A and B are shown apart, each in its own frame.
Chain A
Amino acid sequence: MRRAAPRPRFSGFDDPVFDAQMTFRAVMNATANPGRVEELSLLPDMPSRLAASLAAAALALIDHDTPVFLDRSFASDPDIAASLSFHTGCGFVEDPSCAAFALIGHPAECPAFSSFAQGTLEYPDRSATLFLQVEKLDNEAGLRLRGPGISDSRHLAAAPLPASLAEELAANRERFPQGVDLLLFNGSRLAALPRSTRVEG
């Protein structure tokens, strides 16, 4: 007797082609304009522990070529690894330095940025992108950002973040062109802190 193939519990993007394209454009706009909060309109069906925008970016960018690191809070929900693996074909790694993408559900306890792949001086692109899920994300007063993609300066408020964020980001900028790139997610919104950005206060 043939059994029907098990249906995934979470169906991901409604339309994998166009939803991934729109999500990517939002991530690209966010990266090109560091700190500017972008809003996603098409959101995937994924485990509710994941912010919808984080789940969308993960589905749009992750595949079998990109090992994924899950922090303890995301790893504790087996649906997350199962649905990401089902939809993207990605593998998971325990060692943060082996990950292309690190999904961090509890940014206050994020491993040190320096423990992730930094790239090399010759190939700084071989570095990790960190997805941080935060509870607050807007352009109110908070971090003051300067650098490429920003005319003069821009404000970004995000919380919770690692207690040592200021030092971590300063050290990350110091390593330029090596370093990690951050994407922050809250609900349907996202913002980027690429390594080229200088953070004040």
Chain B
Amino acid sequence: MSAPSYNFAYLDEQTKRMIRRAILKAIAVPGYQVPFASREMPMPYGWGTGGVQITASIIGPKDVLKVIDQGSDDTTNAVSIRAFFAKVASVAVTTRTREADIIQTRHRIPETPLAEGQIIVFQVPIPEPLRFLEPRETETRLMHALEDYGPMHIKLYEDIARHGHIATTYAYPVRVAGRYLMDPSPTPKFDNPKMHISPALQLFGAGREKRIYAIPPNTEVVSLDFEDHPFEVQRFDRTCALCGAAGVYLDEVLTDDKGARMFVCSDTDHCECRQAAPRLAEGA
């Protein structure tokens, strides 16, 4: 007899069924936060326990998994979650966006456009976009029920009154399919347009807050704005110092203690692919 071991993908089957049912309801009501009985995972809250539980519930032995943290495949969070699934589900893992069936992400959407059939799983710290405006869950539930989203517009207006422009740069609120106000997780607003009419299924998991929500493929995702202050993404007046990419999200990296710095792609896979194929890079 073999020694006792974990079930495939760590979670027990009853937990997976409960999460799977929540995912189906989340897809049926795009942008609505479905409560679920979040389990304790062998990693602390804030490390992506919501995303990990979704991935564990959907993944199969033939899937190829990619995990990114702020666009990077090689930071602690990404490496440890990738190793977790390689161990408990024996799945193939990759850093290549194109090769992945499931991409678990913390706060970025890859620069390489996602394809039909791919699933992107977001780790979400605070799923309720209205939470900082209204701390009571009973009230935010009611606000969603009544589509009472005026306070969010007021918050954005206050940005304009104070700073002259909408100063919200990440977790920028969106309306999904013309109905629910949704927090896109703390992705930079640079990535909001990638959620709109995406060919990939987008799933969001918040472990500590015990919520799952979803955006089906080909679904309208509109960032809130005003006629005279239309939604805009961050622009960078330079290109990646490593691969020369323009029009991508850049990270600022300090290189010494005298103030020298460089700007590089936050999406490490995108950057590596471009460095490996410099001729393609010139065309981009």
Residues of A within 8 A of B (CB): 16-18, 20-22, 24-25, 27-29, 31-34, 60-63, 65-66, 100, 120-125, 127, 129, 147-151, 176-177, 181, 194-196
Contacts and interface: CB of A to CB of B under 8 A. Distances in A.
Interface in B182-209: 197, 201
B220 to A, nearest CB: 8
Contacts of A28: 20, 23-24, 27, 58, 201
B28 A33 contact: no
Given A63-B14, A65-B18, A25 B58 contact: yes
Contacts of B216: 31-34, 148-149, 196
A148 B30 contact: yes
B145 A61 contact: no
Interface string B1-18: 000000110000110111
A18 B145 contact: no
B78 interface: no
Given A148-B177, A149-B27, A149-B217, 14 more contacts: A17-B8, A27-B24, A31-B28, A100-B21, A122-B142, A147-B177, A148-B216, A148-B220, A149-B218, A177-B29, A177-B179, A194-B27, A194-B29, A196-B30
B121 to A, nearest CB: 12
Counting chain B CB atoms within 10 Å of each CB, which of A147, A176, A177 scores highest?
A: A177
Contacts of B77: none
Nearest 6 pairs of A and B residues by beta carbon: A149-B216, A194-B28, A121-B145, A125-B25, A148-B219, A122-B141
B144 interface: yes
B35 interface: yes
B22 interface: yes
A195 B29 contact: yes
A32 B21 CA distance: 13
B8 A122 contact: no
A39 to B, nearest CB: 15
7 contacts: A24-B58, A65-B18, A121-B146, A124-B32, A125-B22, A176-B179, A195-B28
Contact of A24 (B20, B141, B180, B217): B20
Counting chain B CB atoms within 10 Å of each CB, which of A20, A22, A122 scores highest?
A: A122
Contacts of A176: 29, 179
Nearest to B140: A122
Contacts of A194: 27-29
Nearest to B177: A148
B64 to A, nearest CB: 14
A144 B207 CA distance: 38
B60 interface: yes
A110 B97 CA distance: 45
B115 to A, nearest CB: 14
Contact of A125 (B8, B35, B144): B35
A196 B31 CA distance: 11
Nearest to A63: B17
B201 A32 contact: yes
